[in-house]
Amino acid sequence: MQVKGKAQLLRYTADPEQTIALAAKLCYSGDEIDELIEKIGEKDNAKFIEILTKMNHFSPFEHASFTFAVEGVSRALLAQITRHRIASFSVRSQRYVSEGEFNYVLPPAIEALGDEAVHKYERQMEQMLRWYREWQNVLGNAGEKSNEDARFVLPNACETKMIVTMNARELMHFFSLRCCNRAQWEIRDIAWQMLGQALAVAPAVFGNSGPGCLRGACPEGKKCCGLAAEIKEKQVALRKSCLADNA
């Protein structure tokens, strides 16, 4: 069955903006921690976080973490997202969980070719499922190895599910790379979903998050997509939507 990628924010550090402000102010203040907590709780910390961002003082952002559930995504996406090493991942195992009825992701480029191309793709997925089941049966006496080794014939399109936790600093880095138009379409879609949900709970932290072109010249150089204006409009609309929801 075809599936679509979905990200859901499950948990996050309570009062992430206050947590970041507390960590940063501790670096510069002679006050006791209890005094700092009281002062920070009485203030709007948005302007202070903006100053930290302009100073590139990002270590305090590491004290706020965000946990997402991600599903309906391919094993191809898994190979990309786990390159973000300052993060924690728990992924559904293909060793302990049978893929005897696996879901799969359909690339938009194939879908755009029309019904004939989609049916061909579906038949290919069905064939790989038959191969997988065949090897499961052959290796059935091998215990876990019936899944462990049969999975070698599964496609990158095969769906996976995961729990992902990143701190705010790593999330900002993740958004700068994966919200970019040059990022692969699937992880880009998930990144924008995650950004919208992070913005909703910590707008001061993620207010300027997104691809590098939001904050200056495109870092892709000659490979620039040339759509910086459209991307900025998208991010502004997303930010306004999140702020309206929280009003």
Helix (H, G, I), strand (E, B) or coil at 13: coil
Instruction: Beginning with the edge strand found earlier in the chain, give each strand of the sheet holding 88-91 in spatial order.
Output: 6-12, 65-74, 159-167, 88-91
Please give, one letter per residue, the 3-state secondary structure of 22-67. HHHHHHHCCCCHHHHHHHHHCCCCHHHHHHHHHCCCCHHHHHCEEE
Tokens of 229: 């204006």
DSSP state letter for 106: P
Whether residue 182 lies in the annotated active site: no
Going by C-alpha positions, the residue among 68, 74, 73 that lies closest to residue 88 is: 68
Which residue out of 85, 178, 182, 188 is catalytically annotated?
178
CB environment 77-89: b (16+ within 10 A), e (fewer): bbebbeebeebee
Cite the active site residues: 178
